Amino acid sequence: EHEEIEKLRAENKELKAQKQYDSERIELLNSFIKHVNDNGYIDFQGYKNDVDLMRKMANYSEGTNVNVEKN
């Protein structure tokens, strides 16, 4: 029984980490979509001026798992 509880705790920890990772990816994509929608197209000059968004998008990974290595 104790082993089962420890296993569930470990799974819960992994799920929380995955949820956090997914939430960060969703937030980044929402920022990018808002940028595109606000400008009606990708405003590359504005995009280049938003260094934080540009850096985050450059580091965006196609992976869907928290264990995927980030650039």
Q: What is the pLDDT of residues 41-65, one digit of tens each?
A: 777 777 778 888 878 887 776 666 6
Q: Return all residues near 13 (Cβ < 8 A) that are at least 6 apart.
A: none
Print the domain residue range for 28.
2-58
Q: Mean pLDDT across the stretch 35-43?
A: 76
| Encoded tokens for 2 | 């104790």
User: What local confidence, expressed as pLDDT, does residue 71 receive?
Assistant: 38
Assigned domain for 67 exists: no
Q: What is the pTM of this model?
A: 0.59
Q: Is residue 6 predicted with pLDDT exceeding 70?
A: yes
Assigned domain for 37 exists: yes
Q: How many domains does the chain have?
A: 1
Assigned domain for 39 exists: yes
Q: Return all residues near 31 (Cβ < 8 A) that are at least 6 apart.
A: 53, 56
- The C-alpha R_g of the chain, in whole angstroms, comes to 17
* Angstrom distance (rounded) from CA 47 to CA 55: 10
Q: Mean pLDDT across the stretch 14-20?
A: 94
Assigned domain for 21 exists: yes
Percent of the chain surpassing pLDDT 90: 31
Q: Which run of H or of E encompasses 4?
A: helix 2-39
